[in-house]
Amino acid sequence: MVTGPVQQPSLVVRPRAGHPAEPDPAGHPAQPDPVGQPAEPPPVGLPGEPRPAGLAGDVHALGRALAAVTTAPRWRDEVLLRLRPVGQGFAEHVRITEGPAGLYRELLTQSPRLHHGVRLLTREHAAIVAAILAVQRSAEQPETHPDELRHWAGHLLRRLARHRRRGTNLLWEAYQTDLGGET
pLDDT band per the 50, 70, 90 thresholds, residue 174:
confident
Q: Residue 21: inside a domain, yes or no? A: no
CB atoms within 10 A of CB 67: 9
Q: Per-residue pLDDT averaged across 84-93, rounded?
A: 94
For 166, list phi and psi in degrees, rounded to 5. -65, -40
Contact 44, 60 (CB under 8 A): yes
The structural domain count of the chain equals: 1
Tell how strand 11-12 and strand 51-52 pair up: antiparallel
Q: Residue 3: inside a domain, yes or no? A: no
> pTM, whole model, 2 decimals?
0.67
Q: pLDDT value at position 49?
A: 54
Residue pLDDT, tens place only, 122-163 = 999 999 999 999 999 999 998 889 999 999 999 999 999 999
Residue pLDDT, tens place only, 12-29 = 444 434 444 444 445 555
Q: Residue 98: inside a domain, yes or no? A: yes
Whole-angstrom Cα distance, residue 42 to residue 17? Answer: 6
Q: Residue 27: inside a domain, yes or no? A: no
Structural domain boundaries enclosing 77: 53-179
Q: Residue 22: inside a domain, yes or no? A: no
Q: Residue 121: inside a domain, yes or no? A: yes
